[in-house]
Amino acid sequence: MYYLFIENEKINGGGQCKCLNENIKNIEVNENIYNQYIAEPIRYTFSNEKIIENPNYESEKQKEYITNQILEIQRKLDILDTKRIRAVCEDEIRDERTGETWLDYYNSQIYDLRVELKSLENQL
- Using a pLDDT cut of 90, give the percent of the chain over it: 98
Average pLDDT, the chain: 96
Query: Which strand (E) or helix (H) includes residue 84?
Result: helix 57-90
Q: What are the tens digits of pLDDT across the range 55-84?
A: 999 999 999 999 999 999 999 999 999 999
Measured between alpha carbons, how far is residue 83 from residues 37, 71, 108 in Å?
A: 41, 19, 13
Query: Which strand (E) or helix (H) includes residue 29?
Result: strand 25-29
Q: What are the tens digits of pLDDT across the range 12-37?
A: 999 999 999 999 999 999 999 999 99
Phi, psi of 8 (to 5 degrees): 55, 40
pLDDT value, residue 91: 86
Kindly state the average pLDDT of the residues 37-60: 96
